Structure 1
Amino acid sequence: MRLGFRPPKDPEGFLAYARTLQGRYEFIEVPGSAAEVLTEAALEARGMGYALTFHARYLDLYPGSLVPDIREASLHLLEKDLERAARLGALLVNVHAGNIPWTDYPPPDLSPHHDALREAEARMRREYLERAAEGLACLASRALYLGLRFTLENLAAPQEVPRTPEEMALFLEVPHLEFCLDLGHAQMAGQEVVGFAQVLGKRLSHVHAHRNDGRYDLHLPPGPEDLRPFASSPCTVLVELPPRNPGEYVDVHESLAATGILPEAKGGG
């Protein structure tokens, strides 16, 4: 297991976290939404000994959209993120597949059309997933050419895809695509982590580690019990906490080390 962290999105905060956590964490995630302003800081962090991962932009991007222009624009922007990540020397790029535009229908006791509406939603999800898989296949080939690993993340909200192990499995046919298991998203979606692990097997190569209350995406610190299943795997494990205090990342590292999951300090420096 290689342990990394999510830093603040401003250069000063990015580097302050990097200096504080040097010797504990091996890699830092660069957010695509702030990558342009973080380029120099990210390269400086590489000089400190950190590896980099890259989270592609995802707001307002729909790689499985029914509208060709929206789909093509989304894929174009994601390809630009791949190219930026390659210039930074990143290990991998993580991506979201987006969401369908509709999941709002009345419950059975309020509408005789409930079942038909659910069937329409299920059909919309299947079609979106198929188009997204087709688009991500092109991006995965581009990532391979650029020397990048390319991972797809499970999402949490009812309208988002993929949300379940079964939906993630639909992307197994995409060559060169690997997978990111977001533990907090699985918790919110009511899905067991073991279900994703069983379906994805060795193609599960990246983990987002955080917890919540099952209702809101709180990004609370993960505990040793959350990461023990990945202790002996080659996965990159990104601890995802809000930019409050780098001491929270120190606490997570120390809790892992105290339980033997991290037998020795690792990371930049």
Structure 2
Amino acid sequence: MRLGFRPPKDPEGFLAYARALLGRYAFIEVPGSAAPALFQAAQEAREMGYALTYHARYLDLYPGSPVEEVREASLKLLRQDLERAARMGALLVNAHAGNLPWTDYPPPGLSPAHEALREQEGRLRREYLERALEAFAGLAQLASDLGLRLTLENLPAPQEVPRTPEEMALFLQVPHLEFCLDLGHAQMAGQEPQAFLEALGGRLVHVHAHRNDGRFDLHLPPRLEDLEPFAKKPCTLLVELPPRGVEEYLAVHQGLASAGLVPEAMGGDV
């Protein structure tokens, strides 16, 4: 397990976290939404000894959209992210598959139309997944051509895809594509992390580690027991916290080091 962190999105904050966590964390995830502004800072972090991963943009992107123009615009931006990540020297790019445009139906018991609307939603979901499969086949091939690993992340909300281990497993048919397990998203979706491990096997290579209250994506620090299953796996594990303070990242590392799951600190400014 290689341990990484999510930095602030401004160059000064990015480098301040990098200096403080040097020797404790092995890689930094660069957010695609701020990548142009962070390019130079990311190169400085590489010179310090960090590896880089890259989170592709995802807001308002729908690579499985039923509207061809929307789908193509989304794929254009994702291809740009892959190319930028390659120029930056990243080793892995993580991406989302988007969400359905409609899940607005009354709950069971409130309307006799509930079951028919659920059936229609299921059809739309299957169709979205089919288009997303095609989209990610092209993206994964481009990533491979660029010398990158591309991972697909599980998402938390009912309208988002893929959400379950079964939906993630549909993408196993895509050559070169690997997978990211987001522990907080699985918690919100009511899915057990072990089920993703069993469904995806060795192609689950990236983990986003955080927790929440089961309702909102709070990105709270993960517990030690959340991370133990990955300690001896050849994966990159990103502790994914908002920039509330570098102390949270130091505390997570210290907990892992105290349990013997990662090496003790070798340097860095505290």
Q: Normalised by the shorter chain, which TM-score bucket? A: over 0.9
Distance 1:268 1:80, change over 3 A: farther
Change (3 A) 1:49 1:268: farther
Corresponding residue for 1:18? 18
Residue 28 of structure 1: aligned partner: 28
Quote the residue 1:87 is aligned against: 87
Give matches, 1:90-169, under 5 Å. 90-169=90-169
Q: How far does the alpha carbon of each residue in 1:216-251 deviate from its partner, in whole angstroms, 9 at most, with x for none?
A: 100000121011100001100000011010011000
Structural RMSD (CA): 1.2
Output the TM-score relative to the length of structure 1. 0.98
Retained in 2: the 8 A contact 1:25–1:266?
A: no
CA offsets per residue over residues 140-177 of structure 1, 9 Å max, x none? Answer: 00000000000000000111000000110111100000
CA contact (8 A) 1:154 1:186 kept: yes
Separation (CA, whole Å) in 2 of partners of 1:164 and 1:225: 21
Structure 2: 5+ residue stretches without partners: none
The answer for the alignment partner of 1:181 in structure 2 is 181
Identical positions, percent: 76
Structure-2 separation of matches of 1:268 and 1:26: 12
Structure 1, residues 47-80: CA drift from partner, whole Å, max 9, x if none? 1000000000000000000000110110111000
Instruction: Show structure 1 runs of 5+ residues with no match.
Output: none
The structure 1 segments of at least 4 consecutive aligned residues displaced by more than 4 Å after TM superposition are: 266-269
Kindly state the Cα deviation for residue 110 of structure 1 after the two structures are TM-superposed: 1.6
What is the CA-CA distance between 1:266 and the residue it aligns to? 6.6
Quote how far apart the aligned CAs of 1:9 are: 0.2
Cα distance in 1 for residues equivalent to 2:174 and 2:268: 33
Q: Match for 1:75: what amino acid?
A: L
1:19 & 1:263 partners in 2: Cα distance? 18
Which residue in the other structure is 1:241 paired with? 241
Q: Corresponding residue for 1:44?
A: 44
Q: For residue 170 of structure 1, give the secondary structure of its aligned residue in structure 2.
A: helix
Please give the secondary structure, in 1, of the residue aligned with 2:172.
coil
1:234 & 1:198 partners in 2: Cα distance?
A: 15
Deviations 1:68-115 (A, max 9, x none): 011011011100000000001101000000000111111222211111
Provide the residue aligned with 1:209 in structure 2.
209
Tell me the residue number matched to 2:222.
Answer: 222
Note the C-alpha offset of 1:264. 3.6
| Aligned counterpart, 1:251 | 251
Contact 1:26 1:268 in 2 (8 A): no
1:62 to 1:130, Cα distance in 2 relative to 1, 3 A: same
C-alpha distance 268-182 of structure 1, shift in aligned 2 (>3 A): farther
TM-score w.r.t. length of structure 2: 0.98
Kindly tell me: are residues 7 and 267 of structure 1, through their superposed partners in 2, closer, same or farther at Cα, counting changes over 3 Å? farther
Structure 1 pair 208–266 and aligned structure 2 pair: CA distance change class (3 A) = farther
Q: Residues of 2 paired with 1:268 and 1:2: CA distance?
A: 17
Q: Aligned to 1:90, what secondary structure does the other structure show?
A: coil
Letter in 2 for 1:179: F
Which position in structure 2 is the counterpart of 1:69?
69
Q: Number of residues paired by the alignment?
A: 269
- CA offsets, 1:178-222, max 9 Å, x none? 000000000000000000000000000000000000011000001
Aligned residues of 1:143 and 1:150 also touching (Cα < 8 A): yes
